[in-house]
Structure 1
C-alpha cells in the first residue's frame, strides 16, 4: 500500500522520495530478522500462539503509524511493526508443511503466494484510493481494522485450523542449531540463496514502480494504484494452477522460466514503453514471482523434518531479500530510475542462467 503514495508522502512531510522510500526496507528488514525468532517458537509452542501474537502486534503498531508526524517516526514504527508481524509468514508456511504432502504442496503454496501477490495488488489500489479520498492516516487505520477482523476469524476457527500436534518441542538452542544444519545442506543452501535474490529483485523493482508511473507518465495516486493492480492478478487467478504445473512438470523447468520472466519485465519497464505496455509488464513481473517463490517454498519444506526451522529460514531470507532489495534500489536510484530497472533486470537474466544448472535435479 505504500509504493503508490511515496510521492505524496514526500510532499506532505517535505522530504525527498528517496528518504521516504526507506519506510519500506525498515519494515521488511525488521520482519526478516524477526522470523528467526518466531519460526522456532512456532515449533516449540505451536502455530496458533505465534500467529495470535504477531497479528496483534501488527494491528496495534499499524494503527499507531497513522499518528506519525515525521518520516523518521514512520520509519521507526514500520521497523517495529515488521519485527512484531514477523511470525505470520513462516508460521503459515510451516502450517502448510504440516498439512499437505509434498506432491500436493505446490498447489497449497501456490494459493498462499497467490494471495500474497493479490494482497500487494489490492493494497496498491486500495491504499492509493484511500489516501486520495481520506488521507494517508486512514490508510493505516483501515489496515489495522481489517487486521482485527482477520484476527477474530482466526480465533473463531482456531480449533479447526490449529492443533496441539503442530508443535515439536525442543530446546531453543536446539532450534538455532537446526538453522545451521539446514542451511549447510547443499540443497537447502542453494535454494535459500535464490530465495534471497528473488526477494531482492522483486522488492527492489516493485518498491519503485509507484514513483516510476508518477515520474514517467505523470499519474496521480489513484491512477498509480490502478496501474499497479496488475501485479497481483496472475498470482491471484493462476496461483493454484501454477503450483500444479510445477508439481506436474518439475520445479527444475519452471523456476528458470519464472526468473527470466521477471528479469525481462524489469528490462522492458526500464525501456519506458507506452503506459499500456508498462501495465502489462507489471503483470508479467508478478507472474515471474508466482513461478518461483512458491516453488522455492515447496523445496524448503522437504529439507528437514523440522519444518518450523526450515520455513523460518525461508522467511528470513525472503524478507531480508525484500528489505535489502528495496534498500539497494533506493541507494543506487540516483544513477537513473529507468537505468536501475534495467540493471536489476540484467542481474535477473544472469540468475536465470545459473538456475538452469542449480535446480536441474529438482522434480
Structure 2
C-alpha cells in the first residue's frame, strides 16, 4: 500500500463502519464500569464489609481513569491514536479479567485502580476520532451513537450486573467482560490503518502541552464547558452509585430486583442518543442543556419522596435522560475547542468527567451517613442551580450557522 493510500481520508462507508466498532468498544467499557455499583450490597455481604467501604471500589476505578486520560491524550497526539487505543483496549481486557482473582475488597480496589489507569485510552480517543472525521455541524449524530453506546453500557451493565451476580458470581462477571473485551480487540484489528489515516501524530514540547491546557481553559467557553462537565458528572455518579443501596434499603429489593428497577437507566440514551444529537445539531445546545439539567434535578428530587417502586423506576429513567441530554452535548462543544490537539482537549474533558464521577460517588457516600434525604437533597439543589445558570451561560450555543461557534472564543 502506498503512503498516499495510507494517509487518505476514509470515505462515508468506512467512517460508518469505524463508528460502529468504536460504539461497540465504548459499550463494553461502560458496561464494565456500571456493573459494579449495583452489586455493592452483594459485595458487602460476600466480604462482610460495610457498604461505605465497598463503595470505594467505584471511585477507585473512576478517578484513575480520569487522571490517565490526560496522559493518554498527550501520548495519542505524539505517538498516534491507533497505538494508544489498541494498547489501552488490551489492558482493559486483561485487567478486567484479572480482577476475578481478588480475595478481598482491598485487592478489588487495587485491580480497579489498575484497570482505570489502563482502560482510559479508548473512549476519549474514540470521541477525538469522531471530531476529526465529522464536521462540527454534522457531529451530533455520530457523537449520539457513541454516547448512546455509553448509555447502553450503563443500562445493560447496571441491570445485568445485578441480575447475573447471583447466578455466576461477581468473579464470573469480571471474567465474562474481560473475555468480551478480548473479542472486541480482535475485531478491531482490521481498523488499525483506517484509524492511523484519520489522525497523524502531532509533535510538541512540554511547554506546548502546558500552553495547550491554558488555551483550553483560557476562554469563557472552555471554562464553563469543562466546569459543567465536572459538576454534572459529580451529580450523576453520586446519585447512580448509591441507587442499589437506595433500592435495597427503601424497598427491600435483592440483587435481581435491583437490576430490574435499574432497567430504565441508560435506555433513553441507548435508543435516542443519535436523535438527541440530531436535535442539538438542528436547534442548538442552548435549548437542550437547561432541559437536561432540569430533568436531572426533578428525578433526584422525586427520589426524596415516598414513591411507589414503579414510579421510582420511572424517576431513575428520567435521571438517565437528563444525563443523555447534557454530557454528550458538552462533549460536542469540547470537540470544537481542541484545534490541532484534539486528543488533549478530549483528554481534559474525560478527565473532568471521570474525576467528577469518582468524587461524586465519594461525596454522596459521605453525606449518606446523614441519610438519603440529606444526600439527594444536597445533590438536587446543586443541579438545580446549575440548570438555572445554564440558561445564561450557554445562551450562545445555538446552531453553528447562526453564531459561528467553531471559533471557540466565546
What range is the shorter-chain TM-score in? over 0.9
Q: What SS does the corresponding residue of 1:169 show, helix, strand or coil?
A: coil
Give the drift of 1:327: 0.9
Q: Is the 8 A contact 1:40 1:176 kept in 2?
A: no
CA distance in 2, matches of 1:151, 1:252: 38
Shift of 1:172: 4.8
1:148-159 → structure 2 map (5 Å cutoff): 148-159=182-193
> Could you tell me whether the CA contact under 8 Å between 2:132 and 2:199 is conserved in 1?
no
Measure, in 2, the Cα distance between the counterparts of 1:272 and 1:149: 44
Matches within 5 A, 1:1-363: 1-163=35-197, 165-305=199-339, 306-363=341-398
What displacement does 1:13 show? 0.6
Query: Whole-Å Cα distance in 1 between the matches of residues 131 and 161 of structure 2?
Result: 32
TM-score (norm 2): 0.86
Aligned-residue Cα RMSD (Å) equals: 1.3
Q: Is the 8 A contact 2:277 2:329 kept in 1?
A: yes
Contact 1:46–1:164 (8 Å) recurs in 2 = no
Q: CA shift at 1:350, angstroms?
A: 0.9
SS in 1 for 2:49: coil
Query: How big is the shift at 1:31?
Result: 0.3
CA distance in 2, matches of 1:48, 1:227: 39
Contact 1:40 1:308 in 2 (8 A): yes
Alignment partners' CA distance in 2, 1:46 and 1:220? 46
How far the C-alpha of 1:159 sits from its partner, in A, is 2.7
Task: Give a deviation string over 1:132-180, Cα, whole Å, max 9, x none.
Answer: 1011100100110010011111112323344264432333542343112
Q: Distance in 2 between matches of 1:267 and 1:162?
A: 46
Which stretch has the larger CA shift, 190-199 or 210-219? Answer: 210-219
The 1-side partners of 2:148 and 2:327 are apart by: 10
* C-alpha displacement of 1:89: 2.1
Preserved CA contact (<8 Å) 2:132 2:198: no
| Structure 2 unaligned regions, length at least 5 | 1-34, 399-410
Query: Equivalents in 2 of 1:347, 1:164: separation in Å?
Result: 40
SS at match of 2:101: coil
Q: How many residues align?
A: 363
The whole-number CA distance in structure 1 between the counterparts of 2:72 and 2:295 is 33
CA distance in 2, matches of 1:244, 1:76: 41
**Unpaired segments of 5 or more residues in structure 1?**
none
Q: Distance in 1 between matches of 2:269 and 2:352?
A: 21
SS at match of 2:139: helix
TM (norm. structure 1) is 0.97
Counterpart Cα distance in 2 of 1:222 and 1:253 = 38
> Does the 8 A contact of 2:367 with 2:374 survive in 1?
no
